[in-house]
Amino acid sequence: MALAWCVVRRSASKFASVYGGRVRSISAVANRASLARNPSSIRPFVSRALNYSTAIDRISSEQTLIRVIDSEINSALQSDNIDSDEEMTPGSFPFRIEDKPGNQNVTLTRDYNGEHIKVVVSMPSLVSDENDDDDDDDEGPSNESSIPLVVTVTKKSGLTLEFSCMAFPDEIAIDALSVKHPGDSLEDQLANEGPDFEDLDENLKKTFYKFLEIRGVKASTTNFLHEYMTRKVNREYFLWLKNVKEFMEQ
């Protein structure tokens, strides 16, 4: 009886040693099959990993953007185009300058012989002038900056002459001229726009240019405005960069 019991024990031990690995493998397969049937048991771990990876990518992207903005801000600070414009305003400049940060326009005002003169200066734009008659292809189109101006000259009665102009370096070009009465409706203003300025008599056009020149709207004024507005563009860009950086850091 004892001998039979020993044989049974040895057989069981041998079976366990031989087939133990297979039993564990079968168990592992069974566990994987169970996970496949019930994936919710691993989903929380996958979800947390994906959220962590997304958060890391977002932080890395924002830090990269802040570094690039800092580089742009440093470049702007190293230039001389965001200095105070009071230092560059000539002593003979006849206009008062109204310039609010964030405002795309600059307003010049002055009083002259009972008239109130206001010049609304818009941001400069680059104009490409292609000369089709030019046989020299090496030169290509010439680019020059232009600044839109609206000049109003108002009498004490409220009667106003309004000039729409383009200011180029060393030159002013009048595009349109209209007369405005106080209390005019929009229809009345349109009716008083008058003829095309280019269709006027040459002597009459020269007289209007002289009219503006006497009141301070002349080539020296536009040259100053070109430099002033270039600095304004850079200042507005600098302020915009600072505001974007402030947002990214919060």
The domains found in the chain, sorted by start residue, are 2-75 (no CATH), 96-131+140-247 (3.10.280.10)
Q: pLDDT of 17-41, one tens digit each?
A: 444 444 444 344 445 545 445 555 5
**The model's pTM:** 0.64
Task: Write the DSSP assignment of 154-202 as a string of letters.
Answer: E-TTS-EEEEEEEEETTEEEEEEEEEE-TT--HHHHHHTS-S-GGGS-H
pLDDT in tens, 203-232: 999 999 999 999 999 988 988 998 898 888
| pLDDT above 70 coverage of the chain, percent | 61
3-state SS assignment for residue 122: coil
| Residue 151 three-state SS | strand
Q: What CA–CA distance (Å, rounded) separates 197 from 173?
A: 10
